[in-house]
Amino acid sequence: MSRICELTGKRPIKGSHIWRSGKAKKKGGIGTHVTAVTKRRFMPNLQRVKAVVDGEVRYIRVAASAIKKGLITKPAKRTWKKPEAKTK
């Protein structure tokens, strides 16, 4: 399953975690130095949500930011109740 938002197209992006050592010059040191750079990925905050798509209700995977922006329309709540079982 791909980690891509079905509405906005957000996907994982590349980045790096930078390790530094030393004390900042402001704090009386000789400055910080990069000792290692590790690759990492930033994942989108995907949620599985029921939404109305082309007139039918189905589950889609969308980013939380898309939900906050109101890009999805949630289906109406069901109001009918299950019929009661007849007793003999």
pLDDT class for 51, splitting at 50, 70, 90?
very high
pLDDT class for 1, splitting at 50, 70, 90?
confident
pTM, rounded to two decimals: 0.70
Cα dihedral 62, 65, 70, 72, rounded to 10, equals 0
d(CA 63, CA 81): 33
At 36, list the tokens: 């290692």
pLDDT for 59-87, tens place per residue?
999 999 999 999 999 999 888 888 887 77
